[in-house]
């Protein structure tokens, strides 16, 4: 099939999908530029087609593992830098996190620069946030610098994520670009970090008696079973009961947000997602729930 003989052979090759990626995406992710060129020029692969499972394009895949030469080739040959995959990511989101094949962050900042030079929106958001949120979560210092140089909007979340994960240098980097957060009494680098530590300590202390804890776990399990039956109304009520027993468990707020959204209560779902984020700003699931709620309200 590598010789490209016959439309049928090519069709079979195009349809191959392993681990959510097709052959073009796999070659791009490994930085096999020779193979990518062969597939595009000789076999006629559509450079902008996403994989059948995830919608990931070759450009997403190359950006994820910092393959700068491959990214440049794809862009020069018509790859769309603003094309989204199934979750809603553009390639710049991929450049803001580590790929499985990456051994370091080398290349990701240059990939981000190149993508931004081709007209990518720096604050493009999806359910997990903007590229800056993703870079803050994964600790991608150089990518964060690139995004800030291109006037990425910090908002409040990136600095909260960095502080919550104990990354002082990232808090220092984000501090000049971030507007004061009302809940942080002392608006300094140390004050933000102390606030994050206090919040973590507050929510990590046992809030319930052992009896209540075991009851909460049983109620949550009943809620999980209700979700399995797709009885989201019952599940929402059960998660609410569990929250009453342990109001500091962020996962319960995430779970109830999911159920509320399923039964058409998007405003309430957004409220519970926001509470989840306040409790665990480093946990991406809360941002996912919030994004889904916002999209439902539009």
Q: Is 12 exposed, middle or buried (0-12, 13-18, 19+ CB in 10 A)?
A: exposed
Query: Position of tokens 């926001």?
Result: 274
- Verdict on whether the full-model pTM lies above 0.85: no
Q: Say if CB 255 and CB 228 are below 8 A apart.
A: no
Whole-number Å distance between alpha carbons of 95 and 125: 14
CATH code for the structural domain at 7-153: 1.25.40.20
Q: Mean pLDDT of all residues in the chain?
A: 83
* Top-ranked range on mean pLDDT: pick from 63-77, 200-214, 247-261: 63-77
Tell which CATH classification among 1.10.10.10, 1.25.40.10, 3.10.20.740, 2.120.10.30 matches the domain 206-297.
1.25.40.10
Where does the pLDDT of residue 213 fall: very low under 50, low under 70, confident under 90, or very high at 90 and above? low
pLDDT at 298 over 80: no
Q: Is 72 exposed, middle or buried (0-12, 13-18, 19+ CB in 10 A)?
A: middle
110: which 2 tokens? Answer: 């240059």
Q: Please tell me the predicted confidence (pLDDT) of residue 35.
A: 95
CA nearest neighbour of 263 among 291, 227, 224, 298: 227
DSSP H/E element including 220: helix 210-228
Where does the pLDDT of residue 283 fall: very low under 50, low under 70, confident under 90, or very high at 90 and above? confident
Compute how many other C-beta atoms are within 10 angstroms of the C-beta atom of residue 195.
Answer: 19
* pLDDT tens for each residue of 246-279: 788 889 999 999 999 998 888 989 989 988 888 8
Average pLDDT over residues 133-138: 83
Average pLDDT over residues 115-144: 87
Average pLDDT over residues 218-237: 89
* pLDDT tens for each residue of 15-69: 555 556 789 999 999 999 999 999 999 989 999 998 877 889 999 999 999 999 9
Average pLDDT over residues 146-170: 82
Percentage of the residues of the chain whose pLDDT score is greater than 70: 84
Domain boundaries, the chain: 7-153, 206-297
Helix axes 157-164, 131-138, angle to 10 degrees: 10
Whole-number Å distance between alpha carbons of 298 and 290: 13
Residues whose CB is less than 8 angstroms from the CB of residue 143 and which lie 6 or more positions away in sequence, other chains included: 95, 96, 105, 108, 109, 112, 131, 135
* Identical topology for domains 7-153 and 206-297: yes
Q: Please tell me the predicted confidence (pLDDT) of residue 47.
A: 95
């Amino acid at each position: 099939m590598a010789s490209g003989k016959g439309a049928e052979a090519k069709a079979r090759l195009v349809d191959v999908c392993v681990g959510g990626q097709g052959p073009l995406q796999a070659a791009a992710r490994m930085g096999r530029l020779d193979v990518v060129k062969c597939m595009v020029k000789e076999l006629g692969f559509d450079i902008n087609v996403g994989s059948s499972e995830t919608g990931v394009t070759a450009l997403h895949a190359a950006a994820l593992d910092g393959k700068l030469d491959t990214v440049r080739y794809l862009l020069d040959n018509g790859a769309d830098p603003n094309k989204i995959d199934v979750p809603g990511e553009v390639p710049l989101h991929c450049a803001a996190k580590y790929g499985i094949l990456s051994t370091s962050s080398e290349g990701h900042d240059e990939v981000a620069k190149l993508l931004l030079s081709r007209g990518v929106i720096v604050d493009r958001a999806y359910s997990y946030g903007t590229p800056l949120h993703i870079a803050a979560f994964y600790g991608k210092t150089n990518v964060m610098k690139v995004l800030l140089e291109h006037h990425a909007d910090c908002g409040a979340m990136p600095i909260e994520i960095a502080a919550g994960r104990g990354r002082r240098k990232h808090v220092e980097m984000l501090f000049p670009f971030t507007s004061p957060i009302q809940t942080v009494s002392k608006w300094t680098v140390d004050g933000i970090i102390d606030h994050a530590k206090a919040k973590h300590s507050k929510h990590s202390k046992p809030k319930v008696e052992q009896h209540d804890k075991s009851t909460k776990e049983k109620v949550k399990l009943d809620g999980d079973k209700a979700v399995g039956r797709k009885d989201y109304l019952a599940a929402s009520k059960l998660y609410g009961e569990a929250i009453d027993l342990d109001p500091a468990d962020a996962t319960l707020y995430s779970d109830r947000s999911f159920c509320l959204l399923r039964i058409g209560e998007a405003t309430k779902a957004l409220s519970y997602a926001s509470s989840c984020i306040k409790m665990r700003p480093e946990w991406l699931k809360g941002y996912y729930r919030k994004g889904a709620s916002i999209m439902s309200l539009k």
